[in-house]
Structure 1
Amino acid sequence: MLSSKGRFYTTSGAYLLELDIEKRTWTACENPAGVPLYLSYTEGRDGTIYAGSYETCHLVAFDPATRRAADLGMMDPVEMYLSRLATDDKGWVYCGIGVARYNLVAFNPRTGERRQLVSEQERKTGTCAVSSGADGKAYGSIDGQEYVLYEGAKTLLSEGQSAPPECTGAVGWGSILNRLPDGRQVGKYSLDGKWFEISDTKTGKTRRVSIDYQSAGPNVRFIFAGPGGKVWGASGHPPWSFTFDPKTRKAEILGTARSWQAADWVGDRVYSAEYSGGWLSIFDARRPWTGEGKEAADNPRVLAEYAPDINQPYAALVHPDGVHVLMSGWPGYGYIGGGLAIYNLKTGESQLIKHTELVRDQSTYQLAVLPNGDVVAGTNISGGHGTRPVAKEGMLYILDWKTKTVSYRTVPVPGAEGVDGLVVARDGLVYAISTPPVLFVFDPKTREIVHRRELGEYGNIAYNGLRAGPDGLLYAVMTKALLRITPGTFAVQMLAEPPGPSRAGTAVVGGRLYFVIGTHLWSFALPHK
């Protein structure tokens, strides 16, 4: 947020930062509440800076005059997103909250009084919007109904009653303050490309300005062994898709699209599951990356969208029948229970199976195919962003491929929140790792768990952390160890300790195990059996 005093406020993790733009100097670094980060900002009519947090829904205040920061408390005891803020000229602060059950809260910083302006019966999935008006009042929107917010109360907005918004300098997600003091405007920009365009409204001329900065880059989200004998992967925020060729040791940036969260491939075609919106796309590796779209010539090309049942995918799988692609993951913001999508490559038709038909109130995280063509899946109790789990423990289920219905369910590890790694090995058994980390082996014929082993000493399993290698052995990337698992004997061998916490994997290419630490791709030369 850019304040009326010309100071810029932002967040870095738990820290509220103040930047003196003219001096290019950070002038405040405060941690009043110990929250993960701040989502929203506004400036009070008296110049106080207010910020709303993620996860704990805390409201904090920073006084630029006294240089003091204060935690004003939780505005909602359950919700996670305090994503909208506004004030009136009587000193009240209004909090727009979501996303599982929206809320609108008025808070008086002078007295500490908190008022909930939405009844419990009204609350449902979504977020309440609030804004400061130039008339000294604030305005709010609850499920499409507009209100005037003043002196800690709400009244219905009558026709013609609204006022122009007060310019608070707040910059929301995906927005920009683009008007400069001399009237020029910033138009197109690319932080990744390190440039922006500035237009002179008087002359009508536009020029591109180059900028430069140093950054470690975005964290790599996941990797997999893909077409051309390469390691494929994607970063998150901003999302970039890339390949690494072990033979030439060269990396290639393919392009940016929606954030790849999972992928599978056949031949030269990569099927990616993307956040947000639960997109399923196809990329033809024989053709250049042209940018994602929905037209036939686009590469990647969007095949289907599955939000809100699937908003942030976790798994993608090409079925061995060569006709169907499966995708699963978390549902949309505020929703509990993720679905399973099945896309027909020949007809372009989709079948979406909701969580109520799979495992109620859980999200399907892992997918694999049994020798008979049925699908085995692992779930997690997590719901969409901004929700808290309803179920107590994750499950393993089998989807009958002919009927597309669940034929079997079981709790593989009592008390575990989910299954975060799953592979069908060459012996026909299902090997999986739960969270907290327990290796378990499931026999789909007898439908029994035939083996369990604690893996806590190796840390947690990385994202996409368990995969079968070309040698038929299984490889697990854990935060503290690289493991090899032998089907049949269930033996677990620690191959190496990574030089840092590994959060993503896993690809086995050219005799090397590839994994990720932060922004870097690492590899380990696999020893002989």
Structure 2
Amino acid sequence: MRLSRHRRLLLATALTAVAAMTLSGTPALAEPPAPAPPRTSVQPGHEENLGQTMPDKILSQDQSQGVDAAGNPQVYWVTAGNDETTAMFQATDVRTGRIVFAERLPRGVNSWANTFSPAEGAVYFATTEGFFYTWTPGDQSVTAIPFPYPGEGIWRLAAAPDGIIYGGTYPGGRLFAYDPATARFTDHGQIIPGETYGRALAIDDDHVYFGTQPRAKLARFDRATGEVLQMPLPAKYANEEAVYDMTLAGGYLLARVQKVNDLLVFDTATAQLVHVVPAIDGRAISGLDPTGPYVYYRRVSQGIVQLNLETFEETPLGWRPNAIPGTWAWIDMRSPDFPGLSLSMTFYNGRVYVYNLQTKRNRYISEAGLQGAPTPLQALGVDRAGTVYSGGFLTPPGISAYNPDTKAFRLLNGGGQVEGFGQFGDDLVYGRYPGGTLYRYDPARAWSMGTNPGEPVTIGQEQDRPQALVQVGDRVVVGSVPISGRLGGALSVWKPDTGEITVRRDIVANQSVVSLAARGDLVVGGTSINGGFGIDPVASQAELFVYDVTTGTVRGSRVVVPGAQSINGLRFDDEGVLWGIADGTLFAAEVDPATGTIDVLRAENLFGLARTMYGQDRALAFRDGMIYATYGGRLWSVNPVTWKARVLAGSGAEHLVAGVDGSLYYTRGFTLYRWVFDPVAAPPACTETITGGHRGPLQVSRGVTCVIGGQVSGPVTVRPGAGLVLDGARVDGPVTATGASHLSTFDTEVRGPLSVSASTGPVRVDSSTVRGPVTLTANRGGEVTVTATTVGGPLACTANTTAPGNAGVANTVSGPRTGQCAAL
């Protein structure tokens, strides 16, 4: 986007929105500015629904296994939903593979809490939004249980041997108990001070073992007395993220610590650590083998491994299911191929694996019968060739690639949860959660995970979400958010050709780096005051900073919008002006390449206020002299001359990118959309331009008069054959045009009626306010549009050769709408 000197002057002299943002050292413009060529309107366009980008996914973050009244083994899933579809409870019969029950839940989207109570023969499950349910095999529907702790989500459930159900919550980190016999809840409070997630539970007759996140801590709760015993982990685990999974077996508590994935073995009689199994692969550890002192878990390199709890020796079984264990159970398959009890394992995408230790036979039950939901989209990118990529929440299935030429989607399997996309030459680069990994993909070659893209580069230093990626020469600069429970994101410089990476954490103390823009060797970054989930921010205001990639130094930083919690959508225009969004405020700034000084030219709250933790749903794009943005679930256009904004599309629009084909691409839920610009005639050349004030009436008798950002103190009359453009103007009186060659108003206020008749060229009334009636009569030059305009009286249209339209954007009319404009 090019910004003329005239528009730069408008930016530099219009600092009225934020008093604290005064300029320091802004260079003066000595010569008179040349007027900008006019825009007759926002180019009209329309929205296209391109469709669901990925197939429905089966994702049950937690599962449980149990039996029905006849003893048939079953698996219980709560498959995730999205903003438009709730989660779904489903039950699989393991022997037959059939789905024996399925019901869409009345409320709730995601579930990490699912347990079967053998004492009652019932399943209990809950959502992270705080909705609690139960179902007994044979019931015709699930039963909702009112949850008495508003503001708390339920993140883990476990059943005690006597049938009491215990749960862990976020953000309170509390332990609660539910007694099915009395339908009463008991709040046991925050078990470990300062820990916000109750992430892992294991229960016996006497105790509840409670593991936390965002710091890996462990406590034992006495069920009879309520006493809490803290069980310190060795010092080497002080910086680990969570005690994530726990199992009681053979007099031991087995607790997996994430992210190191060591399995800690505690003696339950003494509550002392007695053994450490290094670096298993999550998640779950089985209960005790009924035939001996064994438990089972997974190692990627070995498959399923047996651990002897008497000797702590490990033995690979030779069974290598391509799955991460979610739950384990010992079940009777009633089959000669599976004599006695077999080991049943679930996987979060709806699969079940069964293995018999005697016969070494195994069975696989696919997810084919389960119902999923579309994947919510959370990142959008584009490569140099124009392919548009979308990444979804907690995927597989992968990354979606949309080809605008063929209008076809292609699924790139195994892409994972993408936090941000970028470009490196003709290649696509992206950052993935969890683990803070970076990938490079060559779109000219076939997608093959592990080859193209190749092995990832890990940022490290507790970074989890690489959200912003921008190319600077042979490097990609990456901004990231840390793991849960940590403050301090990072700015990383990655060389994709060599894999080398340099990480600088806390480039702005205790803040994450969530947006980047590059110009030359300078990178400007925007921060969020938030760290990972589960920790409160200590900073109060997001900052812009300037980083010199060549020297590896921070050249300067400042708060650009006081009180803003996140700065996003950073983009340099063609003249080097930096644009961005700080919460609901659009700002423009200049960055001095010699000193790194940031001078704010103008900042105005155009979009209201809709905060998210990292603001990745906010973006900016430039096209034909206009600014486009997504913010607060809407697609906006902004006139950089008048700083007026209007909504093009709403209802959840997010994640904007400019396509190579000239369209704007954005998402809504799980669907990709495109804003297509309709062709329009080129604006006329101005023979006279008014940029300041004009006293008294204005008569336009020949040529084209353009009033750009100026004010006419009187009526305006356009004679036959003459043209008028009002761009960001104000007219203190009526506007009357008869036989005009062209007439357009854009972001203009007319303090009186507007009447246009017998025009021989286009008539466009766009994003304006007319404080009186609008009359359009017998115009015969083609296009006639009234778009996003407020009319303080009737809107009457008759005998126009082409019926007036509104380019898909409604008007506000206080009087009757008649004739050809009855529907506008």
Give the C-alpha shift of residue 375 in structure 1.
Answer: 0.6
Secondary structure at 1:318 match in 2: strand
Amino acid at match of 2:476: V
Deviates more, 1:413-422 or 1:206-215: 206-215
Amino acid at match of 1:313: P
2:531 alignment counterpart: 383
Give the C-alpha shift of residue 317 in structure 1.
Answer: 1.3
Q: 5+ residue gaps in structure 1?
A: none
- Indicate how the Cα distance of structure 1 residues 78 and 507 shifts in structure 2: closer, same or farther if over 3 A, else same: farther
Q: 1:10 aligns with which of 113, 125, 134?
A: 125
Contact 1:40 1:82 in 2 (8 A): yes
Select the structure with the greater relative contact order (CA < 8 A; seq sep ≥ 6). 2
Take 1:146 and 1:196, find their aligned partners in 2: how far apart are those partners? 27
Give the C-alpha shift of residue 305 in structure 1.
Answer: 0.6
Deviates more, 1:446-455 or 1:468-477: 468-477
Give the C-alpha shift of residue 431 in structure 1.
Answer: 0.9
Take 2:256 and 2:446, find their aligned partners in 1: how far apart are those partners? 45
Take 1:200 and 1:155, find their aligned partners in 2: how far apart are those partners? 33
Take 2:325 and 2:599, find their aligned partners in 1: how far apart are those partners? 49
Secondary structure at 2:385 match in 1: helix
1:359 alignment counterpart: 508
Contact 1:261 1:313 in 2 (8 A): yes
1:306 alignment counterpart: 459
Give the C-alpha shift of residue 174 in structure 1.
Answer: 5.5
Take 1:122 and 1:177, find their aligned partners in 2: how far apart are those partners? 29
Deviation per residue, 1:228-263 (Å, 9 max, x gap): 323211111124201123333322212123321111
Amino acid at match of 2:214: V
Take 2:648 and 2:405, find their aligned partners in 1: how far apart are those partners? 23
Q: 2:211 aligns with which of 88, 91, 96?
A: 96
Give the C-alpha shift of residue 381 in structure 1.
Answer: 1.4
Q: 2:573 aligns with which of 425, 428, 449?
A: 425
Deviation per residue, 1:439-459 (Å, 9 max, x gap): 122211262111111134374
1:277 aligns with 2:435: yes
Give the C-alpha shift of residue 503 in structure 1.
Answer: 4.3
Deviation per residue, 1:114-146 (Å, 9 max, x gap): 555559x99943335785645678677999986
Deviates more, 1:326-335 or 1:361-370: 326-335
Take 2:229 and 2:347, find their aligned partners in 1: how far apart are those partners? 41
Contact 1:41 1:52 in 2 (8 A): yes
2:110 alignment counterpart: none
Give the C-alpha shift of residue 479 in structure 1.
Answer: 2.2
1:525 alignment counterpart: 676
Contact 1:32 1:70 in 2 (8 A): no
Identity across the alignment (%)? 24
Deviates more, 1:180-189 or 1:239-248: 180-189
Alignment of 1:75-90 (within 5 A): 75-76=191-192, 78-90=194-206
Deviation per residue, 1:346-383 (Å, 9 max, x gap): 4332221222xx2121111111112x421111111111
- Indicate how the Cα distance of structure 1 residues 504 and 55 shifts in structure 2: closer, same or farther if over 3 A, else same: farther
For normalisation by structure 1, the TM-score amounts to 0.83
Q: Count matched residues.
A: 503
Take 1:475 and 1:174, find their aligned partners in 2: how far apart are those partners? 45
Q: 1:439 aligns with which of 583, 586, 598?
A: 586
Deviation per residue, 1:393-451 (Å, 9 max, x gap): 1111101122011010111112222212211122311111113x211222112621111
- Indicate how the Cα distance of structure 1 residues 472 and 290 shifts in structure 2: closer, same or farther if over 3 A, else same: farther
Secondary structure at 1:229 match in 2: coil
Amino acid at match of 1:282: R
- Indicate how the Cα distance of structure 1 residues 256 and 209 shifts in structure 2: closer, same or farther if over 3 A, else same: closer
Amino acid at match of 1:362: Q
2:375 alignment counterpart: 218
1:46 aligns with 2:162: yes
Q: 1:265 aligns with which of 408, 417, 423?
A: 423
Amino acid at match of 1:3: S
Secondary structure at 2:554 match in 1: strand
- Indicate how the Cα distance of structure 1 residues 232 and 129 shifts in structure 2: closer, same or farther if over 3 A, else same: closer
Deviates more, 1:19-28 or 1:213-222: 19-28
Q: Which of these two proteins has the greater Rg computed from alpha carbons?
A: 2
Give the C-alpha shift of residue 188 in structure 1.
Answer: 8.2
Secondary structure at 1:407 match in 2: strand
2:646 alignment counterpart: 494
Contact 2:254 2:263 in 1 (8 A): no
1:400 aligns with 2:548: yes
- Indicate how the Cα distance of structure 1 residues 504 and 253 shifts in structure 2: closer, same or farther if over 3 A, else same: same
Take 1:400 and 1:526, find their aligned partners in 2: how far apart are those partners? 38
Contact 2:246 2:253 in 1 (8 A): yes
Contact 2:419 2:433 in 1 (8 A): yes
2:563 alignment counterpart: 415
Alignment of 1:130-145 (within 5 A): 131=246, 133=248
- Indicate how the Cα distance of structure 1 residues 509 and 179 shifts in structure 2: closer, same or farther if over 3 A, else same: farther
Deviation per residue, 1:81-121 (Å, 9 max, x gap): 2112233433x423222324x443444556655555559x9
Q: 5+ residue gaps in structure 2?
A: 1-114, 277-285, 290-296, 299-323, 334-340, 681-745, 747-824
- Indicate how the Cα distance of structure 1 residues 94 and 490 shifts in structure 2: closer, same or farther if over 3 A, else same: farther
Alignment of 1:291-370 (within 5 A): 291=449, 293=450, 298-319=451-472, 321=473, 323-355=474-506, 358-370=507-519
Amino acid at match of 1:447: I
Take 1:434 and 1:3, find their aligned partners in 2: how far apart are those partners? 49
Take 2:421 and 2:621, find their aligned partners in 1: how far apart are those partners? 15
Amino acid at match of 1:7: A
Take 1:506 and 1:35, find their aligned partners in 2: how far apart are those partners? 35
Take 2:154 and 2:608, find their aligned partners in 1: how far apart are those partners? 34
Give the C-alpha shift of residue 284 in structure 1.
Answer: 1.4
Secondary structure at 2:372 match in 1: coil
Contact 2:635 2:653 in 1 (8 A): no
